[in-house]
Amino acid sequence: MKGKSVKDWVYVSIQLVFFVLYFQDFDVVKWEVSNDFKILFQLIAGMGLLWSILAVLSMNSLVSPFPSPKDGMQLQTNGVYAFSRHPIYSGILILFYAWGIAYASEYKIAIGFLFHVFIYFKAFYEEELLQQKFPEYKAYKKKTGMFFPKLFHSKTK
């Protein structure tokens, strides 16, 4: 893809590594969850997947794994983007954590946590680029949570 920086490629490559690592199975400590608990967290994981799918569909053909905004991209602030500035990432985080709990995998939960830290830095970089492209991004950022809805809004004068 033309026009992508080295930093873009590094972020996407690391993200791919996290996905590959997540789908490996390692048991460090054996523990189990009840069948009801397993079903509950499988449903939560499914909701995370659905949340990400809704975000992808609302971006249409402009969705990209790269942090740099595509040409022709418009700032999305409706639908799932009204609740989260990065709903694709938040859906993946919910999926990773919930699936790890459902299958009693401390490995998957740990990969989910490390992915959470990584994706925070990727999202932060992406937001710097979005603020350069969209002057209205600053106001959107104040009222909308990065990954999850803001519970409290700061009052601005």
- Domain locations in the chain as residue ranges: 31-59+76-148
Whole-angstrom distance, CA of residue 76 vs CA of residue 97: 26
Residue whose entry in the numeric block shows the structure tokens 């009222």: 143
- pLDDT score, position 157: 45
pLDDT of residue 152: 66
pLDDT in tens, 74-93: 899 999 999 999 999 999 99
| Average pLDDT taken over every residue of the chain | 90
Distance, C-alpha 150 to centroid of its chain: 16
* Band of pLDDT at residue 156, cut at 50, 70 and 90: low
β-strand partners of 84: 145
Taking the model in full, what pTM does it have?
A: 0.88
CA angle 129, 13, 66 (to 5 degrees): 30
At residue 53, the pLDDT reads 95
Which sign does the torsion angle of CA 84, 91, 89, 147 carry? positive
Give the CA angle between residues 119, 125, 131 to the nearest 5°: 130
CATH of domain 31-59+76-148: 1.20.120.1630
pLDDT over threshold 50, residue 143: yes
pLDDT-derived band at 129 (thresholds 50, 70, 90) equals very high
Using an 8 Å Cβ cutoff, are 115 and 96 in contact?
yes
CA 71 to each of CA 26, 57, 135, 148: distance values in angstroms, whole numbers, following the listed order: 41, 18, 16, 27
Per residue in 28-72, pLDDT (tens digit) is 777 888 999 999 999 999 999 999 999 999 987 788 889 998 888
The tens digit of pLDDT for each residue in 8-17 reads 999 999 999 9
